[in-house]
Amino acid sequence: MKKWLLSSLLILAIAALAACGGGNKEEASGKDKKAEGLLSDGKLTIGVTAGPHEQIMEKVKELAADKELDIDIKVFTDYPIVNEALAQKELDMNVFQHVPYLDQFKKDRDLDLVDVGNAVNFPMGIYSSKVKDVKELKKGAKIGLPNDPTNSARALILFEQAGLIKLKDGVGVSATVKDIEENNNDYEFIELEAAQIPLQLDELAAAAINTNFAIEKGFTPSEDSIFIEPKDSPWVNVVAVRTEDKDDEAIQKFLDVYQSDEMKEFIDETFKGSVIPGW
């Protein structure tokens, strides 16, 4: 009986030690995975909008592979979904928006996101299938613009630069149609979903269209727009991540590739000034 009891106790002790050792190994493995940060699964999952951002990211992916950085690209057609996917950890980062849009979206949805570097600038343009110059727009003409707050403000600033309206002093990136101080030609401004404006352009006299949607429609912004933002426009797009990941070493690896001379040359040659490197 004593021998049986001693053997049983020995087996239990060994089992306990094994379980304890297994737990420590699993815990250590978990810590190691956590320490790997954004690259814990071996790749970065990056969200972009369809069009130029997608095309640019495909080139980034190609160059990153040579530096042992694997990128998985997720393409979206609507702006809001991309930030929500990032916040829900379906993405590691996204590249599609400028800072005013990001700041407003974070405020509206209470999201903890932050920009970590500049990407490219897409000059917004005014397009028309009816006139070749903004000066040809008739009194009372219907003019479209995006309905999200930041791109709406951007369009209104563009309209002011084109001489169509005058905004109240100091409204800046917070401008709304209610801030139009002078509209001598009684233009009717119609706010629409940004992605829908190119599809409804024939029903309007003109419209402000984001470059990615313009290119998707088949326009060459530098040639087909009847007025376009200057090249030094401050509306540069940024790389966004969750704030908790902003110091992850994978981000710098990515930025080193994205903001490289090779990428600048690719963008200049591919888009001929319709998309501008922002770094």
**Residues in the chain with pLDDT values less than 50:** 1-35
Would you say 256 and 156 are in contact if contact means Cβ atoms under 8 Å apart? no
Tell me the domains of the chain and their CATH numbers. 44-122+235-277 (3.40.190.10), 125-228 (3.40.190.10)
Tokens of 30: 């978990």
pLDDT at res. 36: 62
Would you say 277 and 263 are in contact if contact means Cβ atoms under 8 Å apart? yes
Closest alpha carbon to 225 in 260, 268, 273: 273
What tens digit of pLDDT does each residue of 34-45 get? 446 898 888 999
How far is 276 from 279, CA to CA, in rounded Å?
9
pLDDT at res. 228: 95
pLDDT at res. 202: 97
Q: Which residue has the tokens 């002093």?
A: 169
Would you say 255 and 63 are in contact if contact means Cβ atoms under 8 Å apart? no
pLDDT at res. 41: 80
How far is 81 from 38, CA to CA, in rounded Å?
20
How far is 16 from 13, CA to CA, in rounded Å?
5
Radius of gyration of the chain (CA): 26
What tens digit of pLDDT does each residue of 155-174 get? 999 999 999 999 999 998 89
How far is 54 from 192, CA to CA, in rounded Å?
23
Q: What DSSP line would sit under 39-60, residue for residue?
A: GTTSEEEEEEETTHHHHHHHHH
